[in-house]
């Protein structure tokens, strides 16, 4: 990995101040002062951006203060400003930093804090994930109703107590279900990764109430709520979790399932965002 200076790595720095600097960078580079909605695109959701409206600007995330170099091929490191037909400003975040990269939680949630500092009041988080619920099949989108954070980490620092009772905003879930009444709601379990779970861990996830397993969204959702945003979470089931499916999991299979489902779920996501 190349040299990568990041102000968030200074423990004495204020991550919210860095987010405000990042939002100012974003405004300068995109020419758009404020955004209404932010949207993080996970595996399989990438095509939604084109369907949302007119792309006003696309910038490399690395030009914006605090953003990390993309760790993974297929995770495009761009930030995009879109104007929808009804006049909404959508910030599309194609630059996710995962907890498993080991750069700390501040870097993981920096895009969320930047979106909030840029004015966004709604955070839409999408991901590719494994299905634990035996009724799920690859290619299916699932609304996140709640989560179980198994990372043993939090984006909140110090004695910051934030209520998470309605973390995944009920009103936004209702809107999504009016667009697609067949959308199921499930509980997302975030593991640290980057290894996939063992079959025993997947059984545990099911027993404690999980329907979906992933490596990204719970920590981001907590930071979004801390910042006062409403949160909508959508998972694409790209694979059945280990032990639910009998064959070994492969990253290629995950990418393939994402590609196959992409046109359908991208349309869904674009329609949902326009209805928010």
Active-site annotation, residues: 197
Q: Toward ligand 8IG, which CB reaches closer, 117 or 244?
A: 244
- In this structure, the number of other CB atoms found within 10 A of the CB of residue 218 comes to 27
Q: Toward ligand 8IG, which CB reaches closer, 26 or 242?
A: 242
* Distance (Å, whole) CA 78 – CA 255: 19
| CA-based nearest residue to 52, from 95, 78, 32, 81 | 81
Helices (H), the chain: 15-30, 48-52, 105-117, 170-179, 199-207, 217-226, 251-275
From candidates 254, 265, 272, 276, binder to ligand 8IG by CB under 6 A: 254
Q: Could you give the angle at the alpha carbon of 17 between the alpha carbons of 13 and 22, nearest 5°? A: 110
From candidates 70, 138, 214, 233, binder to ligand 8IG by CB under 6 A: 214
| CA-based nearest residue to 143, from 265, 17, 51, 259 | 265
DSSP states of 87-125: S-EEEEEE----GGGSS-HHHHHHHHHHHHHTT--EEEE
Residues 108/19, Cβ–Cβ less than 8 Å: no
Residues 179/232, Cβ–Cβ less than 8 Å: no
User: One symbol per residue from 231 to 250: x for binding ligand 8IG (CB under 6 A), - otherwise; what is it?
Assistant: -------xx-x-------x-
Residue nearest to ligand 8IG (CB): 130
From candidates 213, 223, 234, 268, binder to ligand 8IG by CB under 6 A: 213
The reply to whether 43 sits near ligand 8IG by the rule CB under 6 A is yes
CB of 208 to ligand 8IG, least distance (A): 14
> How would you class 88 by CB atoms within 10 Å of its CB: exposed for 0-12, middle for 13-18, buried for 19 or more?
middle
From candidates 38, 215, 224, 268, binder to ligand 8IG by CB under 6 A: 215
Stretch that binds ligand 8IG, among 123-131, 133-141, 151-159, 172-180 (CB under 6 A): 123-131
The reply to whether 67 sits near ligand 8IG by the rule CB under 6 A is no
CB of 119 to ligand 8IG, least distance (A): 31
From candidates 19, 108, 118, 129, binder to ligand 8IG by CB under 6 A: 129
The reply to whether 128 sits near ligand 8IG by the rule CB under 6 A is yes
Task: Give residues 159-198 in contact with ligand 8IG (rule: CB under 6 A).
Answer: 191, 193, 196-197
Pairing of strands 230-240, 212-214: unpaired
Residues at the contact surface with ligand 8IG, assessed by CB under 6 A: 43, 128-130, 191, 193, 196-197, 213-215, 238-239, 241, 249, 254
């Amino acid at each position: 990995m190349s040299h990568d200076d990041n102000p968030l790595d200074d423990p004495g720095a204020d991550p919210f101040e860095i987010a405000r600097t990042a939002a100012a960078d974003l405004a300068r580079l995109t020419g758009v002062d404020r955004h209404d909605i932010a949207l993080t695109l996970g595996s399989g959701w990438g095509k939604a951006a084109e369907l949302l409206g007119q792309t006003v600007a696309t910038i490399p995330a690395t030009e914006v203060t605090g953003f990390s170099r993309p760790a993974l091929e297929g995770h495009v490191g761009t930030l995009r400003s879109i104007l929808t037909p009804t006049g909404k400003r959508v910030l599309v975040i194609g630059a996710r930093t995962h907890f498993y990269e080991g750069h700390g939680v501040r870097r993981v949630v920096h895009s969320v804090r930047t979106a909030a500092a840029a004015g966004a009041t709604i955070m839409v988080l999408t991901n590719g994930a494994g299905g634990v619920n035996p009724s799920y099949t690859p290619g299916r989108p699932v609304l996140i109703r709640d989560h179980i954070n198994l990372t043993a980490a939090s984006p909140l620092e110090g004695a910051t107590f934030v209520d998470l009772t309605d973390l995944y905003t009920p009103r936004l879930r209702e809107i999504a279900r009016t667009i697609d009444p067949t959308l199921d709601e499930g509980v997302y379990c975030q593991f640290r990764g980057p290894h996939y779970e063992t079959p025993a861990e997947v059984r545990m996830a099911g027993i404690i109430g999980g329907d979906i397993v992933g490596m990204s969204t719970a920590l981001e959702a907590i930071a979004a709520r801390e910042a006062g945003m409403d949160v909508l979470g959508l998972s694409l089931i790209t694979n059945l979790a280990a032990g639910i499916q009998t064959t070994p999991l492969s990253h290629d299979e995950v990418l393939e399932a994402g590609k196959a489902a992409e046109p359908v779920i991208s349309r869904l996501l674009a329609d949902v965002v326009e209805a928010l």
